[in-house]
Amino acid sequence: MSHTEKHTTLNNALSREEIKELLSLHDMQEIDLLCRQAFEVKRQNTGNKVYLRGLLELSNICRKNCYYCGICRTNIHLNRYTLNEKEVLDAALFAYENNFGSLVMQSGERLDKEFIHFVDSLLQMIHQKTNNSLGITLSLGEQNKETYKRWFESGAERYLLRIETSNEKLYYKLHPKDKTHSFSDRIAALKNLRKTGYQTGTGIMIGLPFQSIENLADDLLFMHDFGIHMVGMGPYVEHAETPLYNYRSLVPPSEERFLLGLKMIAVLRLLMPDINIASTTALETLNTNGRLKALQAGANVFMPNLTPEQYREDYFLYDGKPGMHTDVMTYLKDFHNKLKENGQEIGWGEKGNSRRAKRV
Ligand code: SF4
C-alpha cells in the first residue's frame, strides 16, 4: 500500500508522523495521487467553485524589517507609495462591476492614525458604492484591538495575518528580535482577530533556509489546532535586497520548493476540508501554471492583482513576482477556460466566505 493510499480515508485526523511522511513524498505518482485526493476533499466540502479576491496593494510603507521582504523598512531601492482614495475606489468598483465578489486590501504594517482612519473611511465608502455586496479582506499587519474592532465595524469581514512560521526559533531567524518583531505579539494579534469576529486567516512560507519538514508539519498542525478559517501560504522566494538572500544556498531548488508548496496545500486540505485556501502568486514564480496546479491540489481562492500598474513594481515582496503587466480580464477569461477543463469554475459575484467560519 502506498503512502497516499494509506491516508485516503483519514481526512482531518492525520498525525504529525503521517503529515511528515506525506510532505516527504518524492515519487511523482504518489504526489499526484495526494493532490487528486485533496482535490476530491475540496470538491466534496467547498464545491467546485474558485472564489476571486481582487488584490489591492494599498501602501508599501512598512515599519518592519522582516529579513525576507522586499519592501522592508530599510530597503531604499524602491519608491514608497500609498494609493489615493480615487485609485482605491476605482479598483473596488472594477471588482464590483466585473463580479469578483470580494476584495483584499494589503499593505505594509502602518500604525499611524492617518492610515488607520484612511482604511476606515475606505471600507465605508466601498460598501456604500457597491451596495454592501463585496466581501472585504484586510491584510494590514499587527494592529491593536481597537483598530481591529473599528475596521470590523466598518465592514471588513476577514483578516489575513501570516505568522510565516509557527516555530519561535525559526521566526527569529526571519525577523529581528526586538519590540517591533515579537513572535508572541503576532500570535496574540491572531487571537485578537478571531475574538473580534473576523474570518481569520494566516499563512507561512515554505522552503525557507533553516526550515525542516518537522517545522512544516507543525505549521499545519498549528493552523488545525487554532481552527483557522483561511490560509494563504506559498513557497519562499528570495529577494536580492534582503538579508535572508545571504542564505540562499540553504534553500531547496525551485521545483522541489514548488512541489513542497503543493504538498502543503494538499495536506492542509485533508486536515481542514472546509476552509478557504489561497493559490498564491509565489507558486507561479517557481512553476508556470503553478496557481492552476494548486487549485487542482486543494486550494479554492484566486487573487488577481488590481493594484494600478504604475505601483506594482514597488510592491516586489520577492524577485520575479508574476502578473505585473497583465490585462486582468483577458487573463481571467483564459484562466476560467483552463479551470473548466478540470471541472471547476469561477464563483463570479460570490463572496466565497469560509465554510468553516460559517460552521463555528
Ligand atoms: S513582511 Fe510585511 S511586515 Fe514584514 S517587512 Fe514586509 S510588508 Fe512589512
For position 298, what pLDDT does the model report?
Answer: 98
Q: Is the model's pLDDT at 324 over the cut of 70?
A: no
Name the amino acid, one letter, at 38. A
Structural domain containing residue 281: 32-359
- Point out the ligand 1 atom lying closest to the alpha carbon of residue 72: 5
SS3 content of the chain, % helix, strand, coil (to 5): 45, 15, 40
Answer yes or no: is 170 within a domain: yes
- Alpha helices (runs of H) in the chain, residue ranges in sequence order: 3-6, 16-23, 28-46, 85-97, 113-129, 145-153, 168-174, 183-196, 213-226, 254-271, 281-286, 290-295, 309-312, 328-341, 355-359
Of the pLDDT bands very low, low, confident and very high (cuts 50, 70, 90), residue 6 is low
Task: State the DSSP string of 71-129.
Answer: T-TT--SS---B--HHHHHHHHHHHHHTT--EEEEEES----HHHHHHHHHHHHHHHHH
pLDDT interval class at 3 (50, 70, 90): low
How many domains are contained in the chain?
1
- Let me know if residue 229 belongs to a domain: yes
Q: Hey, is 169 helix, strand or coil?
A: helix
Query: By percentage, how much of the chain surpasses pLDDT 70?
Result: 94
Report how far ligand 1's centroid is from the alpha carbon of 109 (Å): 6
**Any domain includes 264:** yes
CA of 69 to the centre of ligand 1 (A): 6
Q: Which residues line ligand 1 (CB under 6 A)?
A: 62, 64, 66, 69, 71-72, 108-109, 141
Task: Let me know if residue 14 belongs to a domain.
Answer: no
Half-sphere exposure of 30 (CA within 13 A, CB side): 15
Whether residue 6 is contained in a domain is answered as: no
Between CA 360 and CA 356 the distance in angstroms is 6
pTM of the model: 0.94
Average pLDDT score, the chain:
93
CA of residue 60 to ligand 1 center, whole Å: 9
Task: Give the distance (Å) from ligand 1 centre to CA of residue 59.
Answer: 11
pLDDT for residue 359 is more than 90? no
Best of 60, 62, 82, 160 for a ligand 1 pocket test (most atoms within 8 Å of beta carbon): 62
190 within a domain of the structure (yes/no): yes
CB-CB contact of 105 with 82 (8 Å)? no
Q: Are 176 and 198 in contact (CB under 8 A)?
A: no
Give the cell for residue 84: 489615493
Flag whether 136 is in a domain.
yes
CA of 158 to the centre of ligand 1 (A): 19
What are the pLDDT digits (tens) for 177-194? 999 999 999 999 999 999
Q: Is 3 within the bounds of a domain?
A: no
Ligand 1 atom with minimal separation from the 108 CA: 7
Residue 20 has pLDDT above 60, yes or no: yes
Nearest CA to ligand 1 atom 7: 108
302/347 Cα distance (integer angstroms): 10
Q: What is the CATH number of the domain that holds 259?
A: 3.20.20.70
Q: What is the per-residue pLDDT for 314?
A: 81
Q: What is the pLDDT of residues 148-182, one digit of tens each?
A: 999 999 999 999 999 999 999 999 999 999 999 99
Place of cell 476560467: 336
For residue range 56-71, what is the model confidence (pLDDT) as tens digits?
999 999 999 999 999 9
Could you tell me the distance, in angstroms and rounded to a whole number, from the CA of residue 62 to the centre of ligand 1? 6
> Residue 254 pLDDT > 50, yes or no?
yes
Query: pLDDT tens across 113-137, in order?
Result: 999 999 999 999 999 999 999 999 9
